[in-house]
Amino acid sequence: MSPTAATFLFEAANFLALAGILGWAFFRPVQDAIERRRAALDSERRQAADLLAAAEQHTAELAARQREFDASLEGIRLTMRAQAEAEAQRIVEAARTAARQEQEHLQATLAALRRQQARVAAHDAAMAAGHVVVQLLERVGGPDLDLALIGATCTALRTLAARRPLPPVLVEAARALDDRARLQIADAAGCPPSSLRERIVPELVGGVRAITAAGLVDLSIAGLASFAERVLLERIDAEVNGNG
């Protein structure tokens, strides 16, 4: 072998040995460092991905909660609106009811005032009618009228006596009764003339009023006027109540 070839082989062997030493002493740690760094980056990347996934999940949960809150808030808003509308409707209905009741009360009060005024007017008219009857009977009065009223009183007493005993009997008249009138009344009442009690009441004007155990028979002029007044008042009052 020539010296040149031996030298080349020796240099090549040295280079290979140096390359092996460098590969073992330098490149191997670098490769390990690169692998560790790559593993660390992969770990960091996975952690970042996990954190991103957790953040996205948290964001989704927050969005879901926000939607739930918005829905709950809308429900509360709708409920409050419904309650406000119901309260407003209740207030309006209460106001309408109060106004209707007030109107009905005013109408009832007005009707009562009208009825009262009509009753007063009717009473005044009846009183006037009673005075007219009294004056009329006074003008046409006399023995014939007294006899007619006494006869009507006897008829009424007989009707009462047919139901139950009449004594004691009190007879009131504007003037003292004569014997004939006393006998007629006693016979109709079913009692002796001596048992009749008499009382003079000038306000009766004429006729007689008999007070018995079975009831009152008033056919005096004042009684007839009072009866006419009462009938007129009842009729007018009935008409007023019917119209009210």
Residue in the structure block whose two tokens are 């927050």: 62
Contact 186, 176 (CB under 8 A): no
Backbone angles phi, psi at 47, to 5 degrees: -60, -45
Residue in the structure block whose two tokens are 């006393």: 182
Alpha carbon 166 to its chain centroid, in Å, reads: 56
Residue in the structure block whose two tokens are 């007839």: 224
Prediction pTM value: 0.45
Q: How many CB atoms lie within 10 A of CB 152?
A: 15
- The pLDDT assigned to 186 comes to 92
Cα separations in angstroms, 21 against 15, 75, 213: 10, 79, 161
- The pLDDT assigned to 83 comes to 86
- The pLDDT assigned to 26 comes to 62
The closest of 227, 208, 230 to 157, measured between CA atoms, is 208
**CA neighbours within 13 Å on the CB side: how many for 124?**
5
Which parts of the chain fold into alpha helices (H)?
3-22, 28-140, 143-161, 179-189, 221-243
Question: Is the bond into 29 cis (omega within 30 degrees of 0)?
Answer: no
Give every residue of the chain whose pLDDT is below 70, as ranges: 1-6, 8-31, 118-119, 121-143, 237, 239-244
The closest of 164, 174, 178, 169 to 216, measured between CA atoms, is 169
